[in-house]
Amino acid sequence: MVIAIDGPAASGKGTLARRLAAHYGLPHLDTGLLYRAVALTVLDAGYDLDDSAAATRAASSLIADRLADPRLRDRAMGEAASRISSVPAVRAALLAWQQRFAGTATGAVLDGRDIGTVVCPDARVKLFITAAPEERARRRHLELMRRGENTTLAAILDDILARDARDSGRSTAPLRAAEDAVVLDTTELDADEAFEAARAVVDRLRSH
């Protein structure tokens, strides 16, 4: 069983994906980490994020160990990943990586921006997790404050709105809900409520 989870930044899809993976005993891939890892590789090598050739080389040679770098969780890497992800050749290189992960015998849970539309269009379960931008900014602000990062709610909201526009407006694999995805708005839900709602959807769809 493949569970494809998409949604904008800070919608809660990552937390939900991890919980669903643990509940159903499936491997989980946060595909956003792939793009963050490519961006970090580019920066570590001294190249600019707008150097599409350097980004493509980094994506083509990406190894799983790179996903364990704690720097990938930094706020700046989220912005960098959004910029890198607009390069079609980068997306093409990482597409194969993601499809290999999803193709295991047990199935998998993948979360990202184009899982249900591009990476796993035949997934049995597709969820699109969303929430109001202001609520997503509030959640991300709390998360960053807990990690000791000094930033403002207004700055995070600006980042989220910019990422939404870039992710939805890119020509290659834009952020959108698949036609057969179940849309789950978590604006008024806490983590447990969101999990129970998603689990109910998965249980219903997996039995079909």
Residue 166 reports pLDDT greater than 90? no
Quick: pLDDT tens for 67-117.
999 999 888 898 899 889 889 999 999 999 999 999 988 999 999 999 999
Q: Is 116 annotated as a binding residue?
A: no
Q: Is the pLDDT of residue 186 over 80?
A: yes
Is 187 annotated as belonging to a binding site?
no
10 among the known binding-site residues?
yes
pLDDT score recorded for residue 73: 87
Tokens standing for 199? 């689990």
What is the pLDDT of the chain when averaged over all its residues? 94
Does the annotation place 12 within a ligand binding site? Answer: yes
What residues does each domain of the chain span? 2-206
Q: How many other CB atoms are there within 10 angstroms of residue 172's CB atom?
A: 14
pLDDT in tens, 131-162: 999 999 999 999 889 988 888 999 999 999 99
How far is Cα 5 from Cα 84, in angstroms, rounded to an integer? 21
- Span 108-120, pLDDT tens digits: 999 999 999 999 9
Question: Which of 186, 160, 187, 190 shows the shortest CA–CA distance to 175?
Answer: 160
Mean pLDDT of 182-197: 96
- The annotation status of 81 as a binding-site residue, yes or no, is no
- CA-CA distance, 202 to 164, in Å (whole number)? 26
Task: Find out whether 11 is annotated in a ligand binding site.
Answer: yes
Beta-ladder partners of 58: none
Task: Report percent pLDDT > 70 for the chain.
Answer: 100
- Report CA-CA distances (Å) from 75 to 66, 72, 134, 150, 197: 17, 8, 17, 11, 28
**Residue 208 pLDDT more than 80?**
no
Least confident of 18-22, 46-50, 79-83, 182-186: 79-83
Tell me: is residue 14 an annotated ligand-binding position: yes
pTM: 0.91
Which CATH number fits the domain 2-206, given the four candidates 3.40.50.1980, 3.40.50.300, 1.10.10.10, 3.40.50.150? Answer: 3.40.50.300
